[in-house]
Amino acid sequence: MIKAGIVGGTGYTGVELLRLLAQHPEVELTAITSRKEAGMPVADMFPSLRGRVSLTFSSPEDAALKACDVVFFATPNGVAMQQTRELLDAGVKVIDLAADFRIQDIAEWSKWYGMEHACPDLVAEAVYGLPEINRERIRGARLIANPGCYPTAVQLGFLPLVEAGVIDTSWMVADCKSGVSGAGRKAEVSTLFAEASDTFKAYAVPGHRHWPEIRQGLARMADAEVGLTFVPHLTPLIRGIHATLYARLTKDVDLQALFEARYQGEYFVDVLPAKSHPETRSVRASNHCRIAVHRPQGGDTVVVLSVIDNLVKGAAGQAVQNMNLLFGLTENLGLTQIPISP
């Protein structure tokens, strides 16, 4: 059994990790920390876990994290980079669900995240945990930078097109819509029910932290700089990201065949039949990404529709998928639950 610890377990990615790990046949939940809630049984905060998770939140100092085989950071940005080296030195594998190790360009990271980086050398070592691109490197890693939710949906949607070199990568558009759980479990007026329901809005159009992460990923695929406009929107649903992607085709290609070939054998990426429109609830509470590709009116524009559950494939589920790879387990172990619909 793999001994797993969670640092910062009171947010939505934390409770989702708990849900998945508590049902994982090869994992033993060993420790979960929360300075603020130390001493409280986890199931008192999250009644959905009653009878299934008997852990109590402990303060970070008291938690026996070094005795774990793997530690997940479900913390705000800037926390994991302070504690990762010590854990790695103790032989613990680390999966960071925040952004500390996602951006290789340290200056760029500091600009977007507004702080100095504590360990640039570990950024260089970290592997970006998108298994559909980086599977082999993940298997051999000690430190995983778990991708952001928008970056997962957008990269998986653009990947076949960019790899195949069939679009103009200098001007791509990612119009993305996220459920409100993506904003986290923080007390804020803007995400109150009475503020965020029965309404729709864009946010962060001048610039969002996932923009450099997506650009980095697309640039790696293209092996060249890319031009990307990224607009996120807040949508009145709990879980789910829908990315609508636009690009100009530079070659005539069978798009459907291209996508099916690229994702053949990928358990978690499902290419829908031509003319389909995936909806977010078709992946709710599951680690799947469903994708459809369109060429409206037979013109030179390709439109890709890509949906994930932001808390699963966009966070906790992908982290467990990475853990499975790190420890040589079947990649989908503990991640085969059918999506919840309706």
**Nearer residue to a copy of itself within complex by CB, 100 or 314:** 314
Q: Which of 135, 178, 164, 176 is nearest to 315 (CA)?
A: 178
Mark whether 176 is an active-site residue.
Answer: no
Q: Which residue has the tokens 């100095």?
A: 116
- Type of residue numbered 213: E
167 binds a copy of itself (CB under 8 A): no
Kindly identify the residues of this chain, within the stretch 231-260, that bind a copy of itself according to CB under 8 A.
231, 233, 235-240, 242, 244, 246, 248
Phi/psi of residue 139, nearest 5 degrees: -55, -35
What b/e sequence results for 11-50 when a residue is b if at least 16 CB atoms lie within 10 Å of its CB, and e otherwise? bbbbbbbbbbbbebeebebbbbbbeebeeeebbebbeebe
Contacts within 8 Å (CB) and 24+ apart, 104-110: 104/216, 105/212, 105/216, 108/212, 109/212
Stretch that binds a copy of itself, among 77-85, 87-95, 158-166, 169-177 (CB under 8 A): 169-177
**Nearer residue to a copy of itself within complex by CB, 273 or 328:** 273
**Nearer residue to a copy of itself within complex by CB, 163 or 270:** 270
36 binds a copy of itself (CB under 8 A): no
Contact (Cβ atoms closer than 8 angstroms) between residue 111 and residue 134: no
341 binds a copy of itself (CB under 8 A): yes
Within 13 Å and on the Cβ side, how many CA atoms surround 64? Answer: 9
Contact (Cβ atoms closer than 8 angstroms) between residue 64 and residue 37: no
Nearest-approach distance from CB 214 to a copy of itself, in angstroms: 13
Nearest-approach distance from CB 44 to a copy of itself, in angstroms: 9
Q: In what order do the strands lie in the sheet with 2-7?
A: 27-33, 2-7, 70-73, 93-96, 143-145, 127-128
Nearest-approach distance from CB 183 to a copy of itself, in angstroms: 8
* Distance separating alpha carbons of residues 326 and 196, to the nearest angstrom: 38
Kindly identify the residues of this chain, within the stretch 177-206, that bind a copy of itself according to CB under 8 A.
177, 179-181, 183, 185-189, 191-203, 205-206
**Nearer residue to a copy of itself within complex by CB, 102 or 290:** 290
Question: How many binding residues for a copy of itself (CB under 8 A)?
Answer: 86
Phi/psi of residue 94, nearest 5 degrees: -125, 130
Name which position in 173, 219, 249, 333 contacts a copy of itself (CB under 8 A).
Answer: 173
User: Which one is catalytic: 119, 149, 176, 289?
Assistant: 149
Kindly identify the residues of this chain, within the stretch 38-97, that bind a copy of itself according to CB under 8 A.
46-52
Kindly identify the residues of this chain, within the stretch 207-236, that bind a copy of itself according to CB under 8 A.
207, 227, 229-231, 233, 235-236
Catalytic residues: 149
